[in-house]
Structure 1
Amino acid sequence: MSILVIGEALIDIVSSVGAPDRYAPGGAPANVALGLGRLGADVELLTDVGDDFHGGFLLAHLRESAVRVHARPTGSTSTARALLSADGSAEYEFSLRWAPDASLVESTDWAAIHVGSIAAFLSPGAAAVDSLLQRGRASSALLSFDPNIRPTIIGDHEQALARFESLASRVDVIKLSDIDADWLYPESSVESQLERIHEFGARLVALTCGSDGSILSTTSARVTVPAATVEVADTIGAGDSFMSSLIHDLQSPRSRIEDMDEDALKHLGENASRRAAITVGRTGADLPWASEENA
């Protein structure tokens, strides 16, 4: 069975002081699909791209990493301008549309469905997200969600929080950054944030904390995993690499979330951190291939 990823594919325009702009394929869900394809998973992506040069470039890029893309190209492709600071972190400015054609997805039987980022919040495409999650639940797929919060796009806090919590009540796995969690639940401790998310029904919550590592939590076990040591080129795609690693490794029959003790969670987190470090060590969302695992 395949893994279905639903969400935006766009062109990142990377700007840094004293250097010309760089253009690169991006979009958090597209990066997750790309990461899964490079790790050897059978993966498909429902997305929305234009019939322009950028759209053709994105489609070719994804297909080179064995991603089967469902899209009806028309109009202009979405863009995200990433403004890099001296430490390699990025802030984003977006020009977006999100209106995928869910009828292009014919399967009703998936191993997993992942939704994320802007696509989970932005209409009219959010309706396609809801419909496909419902189909995934009916087929017993593993459902995952990464909110990847972009406050300037997803609406006011109350509205976005309601949407986040609605989706959180329908999925098995949630990955979010500490920045996401602090925006959703300001002035709450990490412990309170994790417990709140578990209360909606998520069986596994992964909280990434940049250079401070990550926390992986189930209702019965919790571990802190250090970040892998790496010389940072930039952080673009790091969280997406972490997410694709989680989905990939949870496909193992031995990775039932209910059975995971602290050792199993630690192994899951260490794999994700190692793969994210490979991405951080090179420019852009250049996620690792399976052939690099033992390089």
Structure 2
Amino acid sequence: MTRSALVIGEALLDEVVDGDRVSRHPGGSPANVALGLARLGVDTRLHTAIGDDADGEMIERHLGAAGVSVTASSVTDAPTSNAVAIRAQDGSVSYRFTVAWEPVRLDDLGSPTLVHAGSLGAFLRPGSEVTRDTIGRGRRLGALISFDPNIRPSLLAEREETRASFEELASSSHLTKLSDEDADHLYPGVPLEDVLDRLVDAGAGVAAVTRGSEGALLASGDERVSVLSVRTPVADTVGAGDSFMAALIWALAFDGAAWAGGPIPAARLQTIGDTAARAAAITVSRSGADLPHIGELRAGLSSASG
């Protein structure tokens, strides 16, 4: 049986402001993860909400070129959402969003190996109910569930409500990844190691917290590992977390032996973390959310171990 992924969440147009220059690129965290999975050879579908307009067509062409199949019901009457990404001199990026998230219910999930959800699509109403419905039905079909909240505080409800929504979804997930900024928003003042413990206790087979240039922490069962970031010149950080997430999913669920969703040994935990860090390094070395292809990632991993 072909192993495949279904991703649900927002796709939008990023307008990247770099001094006096403005460039436009398809983006959105779930769409980036779908792109990353497809470039890593995974048969990937994306269920989203884009407009029947030029921006929506650009997104479909971009994803289709990588092999992502956008569901037909993703095209809606509403305009395509957008985000303005303002790049600082150090390569870091801040965002302003104009987002509507009103996807229709996806009647036919197919038989995906994994369902991934996250970001605004997991929290913004009314579409968040469609996301939860998809996760619930996917899990009942036996699919693995992965979740990346990718918190955008300015667009979400109060912290307590956001945390409750996060914990509901995290408890249904086999793989959950947060950034250190996500963790600080959800659990201010709580050490990252304790946040990982909460995720594992809630049922995650694997949990991860990324820390930018300081690497990442991963947990599985009683195992805890620290992953170093890969040194590379930074063009910008757009898509870095999504690249880490896509490679983490790939290394766990699609590369080699199948993963049943439970705890894994420390050695494998370290390997998947190093793989995800390598993918993120490739992405930050070039402008925009330009996630690696399978050949690039394997070449990077080979050179690191050689």
The TM-score range, normalised by the shorter chain, is over 0.9
Query: What code does the residue aligned with 1:262 have?
Result: A
Aligned partners of 1:233 and 1:283 also within 8 Å: yes
Name 2:293's counterpart in structure 1: 289
Deviation for aligned residue 1:182: 0.7
Name 1:278's counterpart in structure 2: 282
Name 2:103's counterpart in structure 1: 100
Unpaired runs of 5+ in structure 1? none
Deviation for aligned residue 1:51: 1.2
Aligned partners of 2:15 and 2:24 also within 8 Å: yes
Name 1:27's counterpart in structure 2: 28
| 1:161 counterpart (135, 160, 163) | 163
TM-score (norm 1): 0.96
Further displaced range: 206-215 or 105-114: 105-114
CA distance 1:169–1:259, change in 2 (3 Å): closer
Name 1:46's counterpart in structure 2: 47
TM-score (norm 2): 0.92
Query: What code does the residue aligned with 2:111 have?
Result: D
Q: Distance in 2 between matches of 1:268 and 1:201?
A: 19
Deviation for aligned residue 1:146: 0.2
* Identical-pair percentage: 44
Aligned partners of 1:108 and 1:139 also within 8 Å: no
5 Å-filtered alignment, 1:130-141, equals 130-141=132-143
5 Å-filtered alignment, 1:1-295, equals 1-17=3-19, 19-70=20-71, 71-103=74-106, 105-251=107-253, 252-253=256-257, 255-256=259-260, 258=262, 260-292=264-296, 293-294=298-299
Q: Distance in 1 between matches of 2:98 and 2:195?
A: 31
Aligned pairs, number: 293
Deviation for aligned residue 1:259: 5.4
Q: Distance in 1 between matches of 2:21 and 2:234?
A: 20
Unpaired runs of 5+ in structure 2? 301-306
Aligned partners of 2:205 and 2:264 also within 8 Å: no
Name 2:304's counterpart in structure 1: none
Aligned partners of 1:55 and 1:73 also within 8 Å: no
